[in-house]
Amino acid sequence: MIQAQEKAGTIPITNVYAQEADLGNSEYELVVAENDLNVAKAQLLYTMGLNTDYDAEFLESSINSKISEDDIVKFRSDIGSQDAAVSEALKNRLDYTSLQSGLEAANSNVAISRSGYYPSISANGGWSWANSSLDQFSDFGRSYLGLSVSLPSSRFSCLILTISNFLIISKNCLLTSLLTLFITYNELL
């Protein structure tokens, strides 16, 4: 209609351009509002733990605005206490459980890191044999036991002492070796 008035010469062309600009701005604002609605739906679905691509409609008319006392009692019996409801909701939040798992992993890494400050002891043993023929096992065979003690030290990053003997180590010999080891460690400090 305004274009017809402009062609008839009753209004200037600037009015036509202004109306077209207003129409363009209104269309732009409509697209922005629709996009904001879609983003809000996606955020709500994500918060609810649902797939954000789910086609959901949230109509104001679908929300009951009048709640009776019976509805409240039924809701409380279904859901339980507020603390129980919050606990159940947190169990179903994938982002929350993911963060909890990350926290547990970080605490495990701290425990692993702390283990480097403690002494460690390892033992090994075995028997080997080397000969070109399958005889003389007692002459060419040898057995061995080893003990490795790692003691953290303030002067050294880690003092590693290894005691090994290629014969069977008797109990007394082992205790004597451990005693010598601890005396040597104390002297180094």
124 shares a domain with 107: no
pLDDT at 38 over 50: yes
Please state, rounded to an integer, the average pLDDT across all residues of the chain.
Answer: 76
Total number of domains constituting the chain:
3
Q: pLDDT at position 143, please?
A: 78
Q: pLDDT at position 159, please?
A: 42
pLDDT at 174 over 60: no
Query: Span 9-35, mean pLDDT?
Result: 88
The residue range of the domain holding 11 is 2-47
76 shares a domain with 43: no
In which band, very low, low, confident or very high, does the pLDDT at 167 lie, cut at 50, 70 and 90? very low
Q: pLDDT at position 180, please?
A: 65
**128 contacts: CB under 8 Å, gap ≥ 6:** 141, 142, 144
| Helix ranges (DSSP H) in the chain | 2-8, 13-47, 69-79, 82-91, 94-114, 137-140, 171-188
Q: What is the pLDDT of residues 101-157, one digit of tens each?
A: 989 999 998 888 888 777 788 888 887 877 777 777 777 777 778 878 776 665 444
Residue 52 domain-assigned?
Answer: no
Residue 91 domain-assigned?
Answer: yes
Q: pLDDT at position 168, please?
A: 43
Residue 177 domain-assigned?
Answer: yes
Q: Which amino acid is at 86?
A: V
Residue 81 domain-assigned?
Answer: yes
pLDDT at 184 over 90: no
Q: Which residue has the higher pLDDT, 76 or 179?
A: 76
Distance of CA 167 to the CA centre of its chain: 50
Q: Which residue has the higher pLDDT, 112 or 168?
A: 112
Q: What is the pLDDT of residues 73-101, one digit of tens each?
A: 888 888 788 888 888 888 888 888 888 89
163 shares a domain with 122: yes
Residue 60 domain-assigned?
Answer: no
